[in-house]
Structure 1
Amino acid sequence: MKKTAFSRRSLLASAFALTLAGALPAHADDFKMGLLVPGSIGEEGWSRIGYDALKRVEKELGAKVSHVELPENPDAFEKAFRDFAGQGFRVVLGHGFQFQEAALAAAEDFPDTVFLVSQSRVHEANVIGLNTDVSQPFYLMGIVAATMGHKAGLVGGAEIPPVTQAFEGFAKGAKSVKADFPISTVFLGTFTDATAAKEASVSLISQGADFVVPNANAAGMGVIQAVKEAGAGVNTFNVYSDYTNAAPKNVLGTFLADYGQGIVRVVSDIKDGNVPKANIEFGLKDRDVVKFTFNDQAERPIPQELRKHLEEVTAKIVSGEVRTLAQ
């Protein structure tokens, strides 16, 4: 990032300090929210989660809403942000870490719009990160894998912080059980290619992985397919979407983020003129947002004793006694 751009944003942050203290006016009659998604809302997965959150804002807060499906193109991201802000949208959500730089660039020229960025830890002037700490549920998955399995494979859409931090949590959880538990990781370079995810999963399984876990949005369905075809000896977890019906014997549990609940909470505050003064962190403490459940119909369901242990670990994560990330 260029120093000049950073300086401009720093000056902007100072100029709007009073505004962000909660003085932004609310216009209830024309409150509008826009959404940018990196894919299709027609597919179950990350983009659909963002769209469902937007529709909840429309229903529960009476907002006028609109969304745009975008390719992975930073120039397109910034243009879309500017288009929404130029039309008087009070809130625009870029649904994914990849929208962060575009939001920071556009925000300089639209101080009356609040730019939200999913899976981001940022707070600068009118740009606010909404981070779901996925390292926490992945830590629990790691405990299960190391307790019930012999080797794990992780399939990520791209090597970006929300994915790498999730996998770091998984590794820490697994190694809390077995310090030498083997884990192999593959980054696809795509969040939409289920075929590539399936091929990567088949390769990991051939190398001995009996747990293969995705963090790849819509591409994650390829992991589920590979695990099902591998048979009852290979297990996985749902991440963001519930694909249990596609592999009911292999899916041991489901991590869901009820993102809509969190978004409604944040956007309601903004509508009332109360802009968050720091980035927002959702985690296992937010039981209405982050949910981790078990599949009793699996071939080898998670034993009750292990489930009890997971509850104990969850309490320690919430209290801060257990850290799921290195920092």
Structure 2
Amino acid sequence: MRRLAAASALALAGTLALVSCASAPSDATSSDTAAATSDFLPCIVSDQGGFDDQSFNQLGLEGVTDAAETLGTEHIDVQSETESDYAPNIASLVEQGCTTIVTMGYLLAAATEEAATANPDIDFIMVDDNTITADNVKGVVWDTSQAGFLVGYAAADYTTTGKVGTYGGAQIPPVTLYMDGFARGVDYHNEQKGTDVQVVGWNPDTQEGQFTGNFSDINAAKVLSQGILEQGVDVIVPVGGPIYQGAAQAIRESANPVALVGVDTDMYVSDPDYDDIWFTSIARDMPKSISEVIQASAAGDFSNEEYVGTLDNGGVLMSPFHDFESKVAPTLQGELDDIQAGIIAGDITIDTPSAP
């Protein structure tokens, strides 16, 4: 059976194509690229956390720069420090002549919709939100609960304390989707193996849990992580861009061995400073999908049909265990392969109100 580790490596190397639930844009050909005129200008607005977060915003910027390089054009990026920056930042890009604007994150939806309505000739790529109904807005989303489910199962199999934890930056669907998947994966392990592993920090049934309140306060994340670790957790999943750094600091200062789970990309590769504690990551192929949609816009093939990444099309995946490969049960990978096949076939369903 195909191994998840191999699939992860291939996907993160960019060799797997993301296919949307609707018709996905095809890779740009030389003629498509030639069709991009000199006035085509892709741009991007970050969410909080900045483009150096080594996660969400950085991956979005990589998609824009990749597209710009392929098309032989420039790009403009603007960074948001607070939510009050969203609308002004988008307006500044409109004023600078941007032809395609990527807005990073669910929290930018209102500002994106307003700008799209006022500027129907500009294509907007709304990352992590598919609620806007407009001809010039394309929602680009990923069902991260699927990869999160695999990681939750693996964490439940690995833990020695019987407690794993997760928390988020903000209680919004793109964040709780990760957390739901992780918690449901733990539940599935308990059902299948007769274990009683507890999830600290999030209850998928009540949709109640712990959050830092933003995606930039590393100290708040550290304090929150310390509180969770003090409850005996030995695997923790912070969901929210750079807030993982707070969790990593808490782990470094803990007297107990704790494994850290990354989100958005293979964090073992993205931030090697913590390679010794990265258990795995709940990853998605953001740069490739964003780049493809931008190139389609340049070629005149922009569509408002949503773009959804899944386990089936390689849009989401569980990263390799890397340094933890020798520390997990030898039978675990085979079980994960079977679970992935079950999710793809629809035999295993994931209960979450945040599914795209």
Q: What TM-score comes out, normalization by structure 1 length?
A: 0.84
| CA separation of 1:240 and 1:63: change in aligned 2, threshold 3 A | same
- What residue is the counterpart of 2:246 in the other structure? 222
| CA separation of 1:314 and 1:254: change in aligned 2, threshold 3 A | same
Specify the code of the residue in structure 2 equivalent to 1:167.
Answer: M
The answer as to 2:188 corresponding to 1:162 is: no
8 A contact 1:224–1:246 mirrored in 2: no
CA displacement 1:59-112 (0-9 Å, x = unmatched) = 1122321000012224x3122223323433221011111111111111111111
8 A contact 2:36–2:71 mirrored in 1: no
Mean Cα displacement is larger for which, 106-115 or 291-300? 291-300
- What residue is the counterpart of 1:108 in the other structure? 117
- What residue is the counterpart of 1:294 in the other structure? 320
- What residue is the counterpart of 2:346 in the other structure? 320
| CA separation of 1:268 and 1:304: change in aligned 2, threshold 3 A | farther
| CA separation of 1:252 and 1:301: change in aligned 2, threshold 3 A | farther
8 A contact 2:169–2:240 mirrored in 1: yes
| CA separation of 1:310 and 1:232: change in aligned 2, threshold 3 A | farther
Q: What is the CA-CA distance between 1:299 and the residue it aligns to?
A: 8.6
Q: How does 1:9-48 map to 2 (within 5 A)?
A: 27-38=36-47, 39-48=49-58
Structure 2 counterpart of 1:68, from 67, 70, 78: 78
Unaligned runs of 5+ in 2: 1-34, 202-209
Distance 2:99 2:351 in 1: 34
Aligned-residue Cα RMSD (Å) equals: 2.2
Distance 2:322 2:96 in 1: 49
8 A contact 1:228–1:250 mirrored in 2: no
| CA separation of 1:175 and 1:188: change in aligned 2, threshold 3 A | same
Mean Cα displacement is larger for which, 172-181 or 151-160? 172-181
8 A contact 1:254–1:292 mirrored in 2: yes
8 A contact 1:232–1:250 mirrored in 2: no
8 A contact 1:249–1:299 mirrored in 2: no
| Matched pairs, number | 300
| CA separation of 1:277 and 1:177: change in aligned 2, threshold 3 A | same
Specify the code of the residue in structure 2 equivalent to 1:322.
Answer: I
8 A contact 2:125–2:138 mirrored in 1: yes
Distance 2:167 2:342 in 1: 27
Distance 1:68 1:234 in 2: 36
Distance 2:221 2:326 in 1: 24
Q: Percent identity?
A: 25
Distance 2:122 2:184 in 1: 39
The answer as to 2:189 corresponding to 1:189 is: no
Secondary structure at 2:190 match in 1? coil
CA displacement 1:220-270 (0-9 Å, x = unmatched) = 111122224335632221223525633444322133333111112112222
Mean Cα displacement is larger for which, 175-184 or 153-162? 175-184
Structure 2 counterpart of 1:117, from 120, 126, 139: 126
- What residue is the counterpart of 1:146 in the other structure? 156
Q: What is the CA-CA distance between 1:132 and the residue it aligns to?
A: 1.8
Q: What TM-score comes out, normalization by structure 2 length?
A: 0.78
- What residue is the counterpart of 1:90 in the other structure? 99
Specify the code of the residue in structure 2 equivalent to 1:260.
Answer: P
8 A contact 2:67–2:292 mirrored in 1: no
- What residue is the counterpart of 1:308 in the other structure? 334
Give the ranges of 4+ consecutive aligned residues of structure 1 lying more than 6 Å apart after TM superposition.
none
Distance 1:184 1:172 in 2: 13
The answer as to 2:301 corresponding to 1:274 is: yes
* Greater length-normalized contact order (CA 8 Å, ≥ 6 residues apart): 2
8 A contact 1:139–1:174 mirrored in 2: yes
Secondary structure at 1:29 match in 2? coil
| CA separation of 1:51 and 1:211: change in aligned 2, threshold 3 A | same
The answer as to 2:188 corresponding to 1:176 is: yes
Distance 1:215 1:300 in 2: 26
Structure 1 counterpart of 2:262, from 231, 235, 238: 238
Distance 1:62 1:305 in 2: 48
The answer as to 2:288 corresponding to 1:261 is: yes
Unaligned runs of 5+ in 1: 1-25
Distance 1:297 1:102 in 2: 42
- What residue is the counterpart of 2:14 in the other structure? none
| CA separation of 1:305 and 1:299: change in aligned 2, threshold 3 A | closer
Mean Cα displacement is larger for which, 202-211 or 310-319? 310-319
Distance 1:121 1:181 in 2: 34
8 A contact 2:55–2:264 mirrored in 1: yes
Q: What is the CA-CA distance between 1:129 and the residue it aligns to?
A: 1.2
8 A contact 1:122–1:279 mirrored in 2: no
